[in-house]
Amino acid sequence: MKKLCATLLCLALCMGVLPVRAAGPEVNARAALLMEKSTGQVLYEANAHAPLELASVTKVMTMLLIMEALDAGTITKETMVPVSATAAGMGGSQVYMEEGEEFSVHDMLKAIAVASGNDACVAMAEYLAGSESAFVEKMNARAAELGMEDTVFCNCTGLPAEGHHSSAYDIALMSRELILRHPDIRTYTTIWMDTLRDGDFQLANTNKLVRYYEGATGLKTGSTDAALYCLSATAEKEGMELIAVILGAPTSNDRFEGAKALLNYGFAAYALVPVAPSEPLTPVPVTLGTAASVQPGLAQERQLLLPKGEAGKVTTTVDLPSALSAPVEAGQELGHLTVLVDGQAVEEIPLVAQEAVGKRSLWQVYGGLLAALFCGAGEAGF
């Protein structure tokens, strides 16, 4: 029996695929990771930083740069993008664009997000940066900005190339940036079926979770002989969006089942809990101010990601001064809110002035004193 187990282990290692195990579900893949979008907190990981081929999951970065160009106003969704001979000649998954054709950015995004079109990727890369190689430089620069330390991009498509690799963690980072900063990408990543060329060319999403997993919002599949089956899957339920990354699954079904297992685990085990003071915040008196007091408030909205069993154990304490001296600037830090889970402090959030309070001038002070004096004299009957 021991010899049989050793033999099976050797075979698995030679194939490069082992079921990865950690606290949580079992996933049959080389690497896997589950991340919550708003906090960036990792809920599950296995071989998370192993540098692996990622196939067309590469296109998450390509889509991110396109969406950033849209936000910057460099292009619009109506911008027409020409197809070069190079773009038209791309192999692998494609929508069979021909040299000299033009497609809108809107249609290019459909082709990339739904059909994983390599030709559309290269056409967009050439339009935005002048060449695919120049676009790839932008991809690597953006990856560095996002802290993707395990990643090197050699092309914008994910076609096999020596040295082209990433990790489950890095893929989660770029996927988070895309869905967090550019939620409009869902317009494309949630399409199940659509068309190009005025209905003459059919598109079907390579991500089957879009149709078969409740709450699925995207994001991108990928597969090659070397990378095996890969996926960055996103889904949202009850206001929480999760990112499940699968790299190197032996079959297409394994990658989808693995992603579903991760997502189901995350939604079942965790919840986002809004942070708010236990009681309304009392205004803080302001000495010599143009207003008698200033209203404190949270510097930013905050949510905690907690195991569901701890969601009801959140309490807060408030630390504010008994009084302030004018002037007070809007946004000025006044104190802090301490957040506790089961009695243990986990975070401090600044409390800031919700409005400015100016300092009264010398004449305003004298005027107030005189008014108080005369009002007091009148009431006394003098």
Which tens digit of pLDDT belongs to each residue from 103-114? Answer: 999 999 999 999
Residue 366 has pLDDT above 50, yes or no: yes
Of 356, 357, 340, the C-alpha closest to 348 is 340
- Rounded to whole angstroms, how far apart are CA atoms 50 and 17? 13
The hierarchical CATH code for the domain 16-269 is: 3.40.710.10
DSSP H helical ranges for 232-361: 252-269
Query: What topology does CATH give the domain 284-362?
Result: Peptidoglycan synthesis regulatory factor (PBP3), Domain 2 (2.60.410)
Output the pLDDT for position 7.
41
Catalytic residue of the set 59, 110, 138, 260: 59
The structure's pTM equals 0.85
The total number of residues shown for the chain amounts to 382
Domain ranges of the chain: 16-269, 284-362
Catalytic residue of the set 37, 56, 175, 220: 56
Output the pLDDT for position 301.
87
Query: Angle between the 168-181 and 59-72 helix axes, to the nearest 10 degrees?
Result: 30
Sign of CA dihedral 167, 170, 172, 175: negative
Report the SS3 class of residue 106: helix
SS3 content of the chain, % helix, strand, coil (to 5): 35, 30, 35
Output the pLDDT for position 360.
86
Instruction: Give 58's DSSP letter.
Output: G
Lowest mean pLDDT among 8-12, 37-41, 69-73, 342-346: 8-12
What is the secondary structure of 217-230 as a DSSP string? Answer: EEEEEEEETTTEEE
pLDDT tens-digit readout, 76-107: 999 999 999 999 999 899 999 999 999 999 99
- Rounded to whole angstroms, how far apart are CA atoms 106 and 180? 20
Q: Is 56 a catalytic residue?
A: yes
**Cα distances (Å, whole numbers) of residue 290 to 59, 231, 309, 357, 368:** 56, 59, 47, 6, 11
Whether the Cβ atoms of residue 213 and residue 263 lie closer than 8 Å to each other: yes
Q: Is 131 a catalytic residue?
A: no
Residue 307 has pLDDT above 90, yes or no: yes
Whether the Cβ atoms of residue 172 and residue 187 lie closer than 8 Å to each other: no
Output the pLDDT for position 300.
87
- Rounded to whole angstroms, how far apart are CA atoms 39 and 266? 14
Residue 4 has pLDDT above 60, yes or no: no
Residues 6+ apart with CB under 8 A from 245: 31, 32, 33, 34, 35, 168, 169, 171, 172, 175, 231, 232, 233
Output the pLDDT for position 20.
42
Lowest mean pLDDT among 40-49, 51-60, 366-375: 366-375
Q: What is the mean pLDDT of residues 206-220?
A: 97
Of the pLDDT bands very low, low, confident and very high (cuts 50, 70, 90), residue 365 is low
Is the fold of 16-269 the same as that of 284-362? no
Catalytic residue of the set 84, 93, 116, 166: 116
Summary count for the chain: helices (H), strands (E):
11, 20
Q: Can the peptide bond before residue 327 be classed as cis, meaning omega within 30 degrees of 0?
A: yes
Q: Where is 279: in which H helix or E strand?
A: none
**Cα distances (Å, whole numbers) of residue 256 to 165, 222, 312:** 21, 12, 33
Whether the Cβ atoms of residue 30 and residue 16 lie closer than 8 Å to each other: yes
Of the pLDDT bands very low, low, confident and very high (cuts 50, 70, 90), residue 380 is very low
Dihedral pair phi/psi, residue 21, rounded to 5°: -130, 135
**Maximum distance among all alpha carbons in the chain?**
110
pLDDT tens-digit readout, 165-212: 999 999 999 999 999 999 999 999 999 999 999 999 999 999 999 999
Burial of 344: CB neighbours in 10 Å, binned 0-12, 13-18, 19+: exposed
Q: Is 116 a catalytic residue?
A: yes
Residues 6+ apart with CB under 8 A from 37: 176, 179, 180, 234, 240, 241, 242, 243
E-only strand ranges, the chain: 19-20, 27-28, 31-36, 42-46, 80-82, 102-104, 193-196, 201-204, 216-224, 228-237, 240-249, 270-274, 284-287, 293-294, 296-298, 303-307, 314-319, 324-325, 333-341, 344-353
